[in-house]
Amino acid sequence: MTDMTNNPMETLLDLRRSIDNFDAALIHILAERFRCTQAVGKLKAEFDMPAADPGREQRQVERLRKLAEEASLDSDFAEAFLNFIIKEVIRHHEAIKHEAKGS
């Protein structure tokens, strides 16, 4: 990253380049994470395993809050972020269930 001694517009553009790179990384990691949760959804549907696992979810929240703190990220934000993703996962799992019922 650039130091702040350059002209401010240059510094801004440089920071934005980093932000764009991080966003691309986030999107690709998220895509791979959803591939995993889709596989979990199919597995649970196939073997009649319970869809929800509150213990697992609680451990995920605690772990992410701790990781966030270590990385100087707001741990409440980290928890909200996980919930945001989990909501989408549940939407996917419901779609898998409907597909399974339809077939």
**Where on the chain is the footprint of its own copies (CB under 8 A)?**
1, 4, 8, 11-12, 15-16, 18-20, 22-34, 36-37, 39-40, 43-44, 46-47, 49, 56, 60, 63-64, 67-68, 71-74, 77-78, 81-82, 84, 88
Are the beta carbons of 28 and 50 closer than 8 angstroms?
Answer: no
Alpha carbon 25 to its chain centroid, in Å, reads 12
Are the beta carbons of 9 and 61 closer than 8 angstroms?
Answer: no
Are the beta carbons of 61 and 76 closer than 8 angstroms?
Answer: no
Q: Given the complex with its own copies, which of 70 and 102 has the nearer CB atom?
A: 70
CB of 52 to its own copies, least distance (A): 13
CB of 70 to its own copies, least distance (A): 9
CB of 60 to its own copies, least distance (A): 7
How far is Cα 67 from Cα 71, in angstroms, rounded to an integer?
6
